[in-house]
Structure 1
Amino acid sequence: MDTLTIEAKGISVTVDLTVGHLADMTVDIDGRRLKPLHRAPWIDEPRETLPQDLPEGTVRLSGDFLCAPFSRSDVEEAPLHGWPANSPWDVVASEATADGWRAVFRLQHLVRGATVDKILTLRDDHPFLYQEHVFSGGSGGISVAHHPMTAMTDGGRLAFSPKRLAATPDDPLEPDPARGRFLLAYPARSTDLTRFPAANGGRLDLTDYRMEQSREDFVTLVEADHGGPGWTALARKAEADLIVVLKNPAELPVTMLWVSNGGRDYAPWSGRHRGVLGIEDGRTALGHAASLGDNWLKREGVATAFALGEGRNVSFRHVIGALPQEAGGEPPRDITTEHGHMRIAAADGTMRDVPFNGDFLRIGRSVF
């Protein structure tokens, strides 16, 4: 595997240059080593043992990656989730900074005529990876999403910044019971994330990841207008940590949850892809054509693509972090960001301050 590892005090990140995925992320904090990101169980298996038509992004599935477009590439020919998730990236720069490390990668492919750069920044004693993607030039519209994945051995509990609603698409990911299974109703929506319509007519709690529920489900959360960062916090029970994913809702207005818990029976998934949660912040509908055309999110006033243009740069930012906490702990009640730190309001009312670049997400600033 062709990789590059970058490091700062207390944190390291490895990039798989063959597909641009984050192959590993390690946070050393309070005497513990946390590994927040997932790696598919088949990555080290011989390629000839996997289905021949599998996209390279699925063959190398790990960590986080850029989707452009998200889901189907039905406007410009490309694999599932586009060339950024399935083809090589070059290292443009990788060097120490005064307080950490900064690396720049460039996708070898163009996307709608645009050059795509990935900028990763680590800061000493910050348990966070700061990411920025920049599209330079090009034409037309492009839908985008991050695709961070984590995995649990005994489930976990979720909390979110305020959401307007949650909705499933028209069809489940695995409608054929001979190939897989699902638990949510499709299509359905709810403003209460703890009582989402289930396929059996009941209700399911989207904030509770339970290992005994074998399923493959996908649901989109639409950010409410609250003026702060968008965030998802996952308290992993057995791992005794807190995974935090942050975005600027003006850039990435939806968060898509992919629950992959043994719900696919065909290769390479084969019922072994368990305990995985994708926390996928994006500006997208399902598929490139749908994102550019009429879709339910646009009818809700939610943008589903960026407009590219000659001589124009489009960028968006994203943060992934990990913090230790007690096994079986609860996710926070609230997360706020200030200059130099993040404040986490725990479920029990206590406050915790963590080093954080509060200016990075450009909250409240015009970036287009």
Structure 2
Amino acid sequence: MDSVTIKAKGIYVTVDLAVGHLADMVVETGGRTLSPLHRAPWIDEPQGTIPADFPAGSARLSGDFLCAPFSRSDVEEAPLHGWPANSRWDLIDTWQRDGESGALFRLQRKVMGATVEKRLTLRDGHPFLYQEHGFIGGSGGISVAHHAMTVMAKGGRLAFSPKRIAATGSDPLEPDPTRGRFLLAYPAQTQDLTRFPTNDGGTLDLTKYAMDRRHEDFVTLVEAEHEGPGWTAVARAAEKDLVLVLKNPAELPVTMLWISNGGRDYAPWNGRHRGVIGIEDGRAAVGHAASLGDNWLKRQGIPTAFELADGRRAAFRQIIGSALQADGNPPRDISVDGDKLAIEMADGSASELPFDGAFLREFTPL
């Protein structure tokens, strides 16, 4: 078995068991079929086109996946983003009851001695995937992040729940001009997401995804204190839809944006990985050792790892959704109203989507 698909009315999700990635997600609404997630163009190409040292998770890059740790595995030996993003998961259970469909998966390997589980849930008529990851037992600390990705043919607009700061690290993703390029300044930070410093002394609006310049960049957004869920919304221009990613900021206090728009020239990227943005909600610094040690986020009171222990289950949740949006503008605000997700637009108009309003509240792990 290479993949598993779970279905509810109006939605289905497929999991690539080889690496635990979401290989596909489809929402049917308003007479349209929406596909909010990205799939790398090289996945179905002959195996010989992929460099021998390319991590399995990058070779099968798709949808969303669990990073544990996030980025470098420099505490316990593992590929980039850890074994959950690069090795096989087993299907443990599936269910269909009371308008709900779901599946439980377990990573074949352990992470820091912990058993890792993935629980995916769909609900009839809800345009959302509800997912939870849990670490059972183990010892030490583990940094984590989701790696949700969407792709745009002609760019789009972004909006976010309130953020305290946006910051880049000390080094760009592609510092060698013979291999790629970047736009943002490193290191840099700002409280104004529409004016992030660039490497040429100018600024870049992080709320607008433009396709005209090829670059590879990475920036961390720190959640501000506010009521309600943390959220990212991407209004895709050509696709005429809205991609929604929601989290509980108490569990995942940062959102890391990976802007991948033709900024890598070497195989298998070859300048063709364009219009992609990663919305990486996490509890992490860049690298496992950095997350466990002193780092700039910890100095601001932001946790960057979960603590693991025998008899303990560390868990966190995230939601990915999709909705129609014709005018290319993102929401001004998103809030939970009982069993509805309320979406307020800049022009004052509003809409609601069916939603499990209790899912992201802080919960007691089983």
Q: Give the Å deviation of 1:339.
A: 2.0
Aligned to 1:141: 141
Q: Distance in 2 between matches of 1:191 and 1:39?
A: 32
Q: CA deviation at 1:325?
A: 1.2
Give distance in 2, aligned partners of 1:329 and 1:42. 29
Where structure 1 has 5 or more consecutive residues not aligned to the other structure, the ranges are: none
8 Å contact 1:26–1:35 — kept in the other structure? yes
**1:357 aligned partner:** 356
In the alignment, the residues of structure 2 paired with residue 221 and residue 71 of structure 1 have an alpha-carbon distance, to the nearest angstrom, of 16
Q: Supply the distance in 2 between the matched residues of 1:274 and 1:251 (Cα, whole angstroms).
A: 31
Partner residue of 2:95? 95
**Residue 177, structure 1, aligned to residue 177, structure 2:** yes
Of the structure 1 ranges 344-353 and 254-263, higher mean CA displacement relative to structure 2 is found in 344-353
Distance in 2 (alpha carbons) for counterparts of 1:257 and 1:138: 29
Residues 1-368 of structure 1 correspond to what in structure 2 (within 5 A)? 2-326=2-326, 328-363=327-362
Note the C-alpha offset of 1:77: 0.3
- Name segments (4+ residues, structure 1) moved above 6 Å: none
Contact in 2 for aligned 1:9/1:100 (Cα 8 Å): no
Q: How far 1:367 moved relative to its partner? A: 6.4
1:245-299 CA-to-partner distances (Å, cap 9, x unmatched) read: 0000000000000000000000010000000000000000000000000000001
Distance in 2, Cα, partners of 1:127 & 1:193: 28
Equivalent residues of 1:230, 1:246 under 8 A apart: yes
CA distance, structure 2, for counterparts of residue 186 and residue 367 of structure 1: 38
In structure 2, what is the Cα distance between the partners aligned to 1:77 and 1:14? 29
* Amino acid in structure 2 at the alignment position of 1:130: Y
Quote how far apart the aligned CAs of 1:338 are: 2.5
SS at match of 1:24: strand
Q: For 2:183, give the aligned amino acid.
A: L
Shift of 1:126: 0.2
1:333 aligned counterpart, secondary structure = strand
Equivalent-residue separation in structure 2 for 1:87 and 1:43 (angstroms): 16
How many residues align? The count is: 366
CA distance in 1, matches of 2:113, 2:364: 25
Q: Is 1:172–1:182's contact at 8 Å kept on the other side of the alignment?
A: yes
C-alpha displacement of 1:48: 1.9
Cα contact 2:313–2:365 (8 A) shared by 1: no
SS at match of 1:299: helix
* Matched residue SS, 2:61: coil
**Partner amino acid for 1:168?**
T
User: Which stretch of the first structure deviates more once superposed, 241-250 or 96-105?
Assistant: 96-105
Q: Once the 2 structures are TM-superposed, how far is the Cα of residue 100 of structure 1 from its aligned partner?
A: 2.2
TM-score with structure 1 setting the length: 0.98
**Deviation, structure 1 residue 227:** 2.3
Give deviations 1:286-339, integer Å, cap 9, x for gaps. 00000000000001110000000000001000000000110x420000000122
CA deviation after TM superposition for structure 1 residue 97, in Å: 1.9
Q: Which amino acid aligns with 1:59?
A: A
Structure-2 separation of matches of 1:353 and 1:232: 16
State the Cα deviation string for residues 182-237 of structure 1 (Å, max 9, x = none): 00000000000000101100111000000112100000000001021000000000
Q: Distance in 2 between matches of 1:26 and 1:237?
A: 18
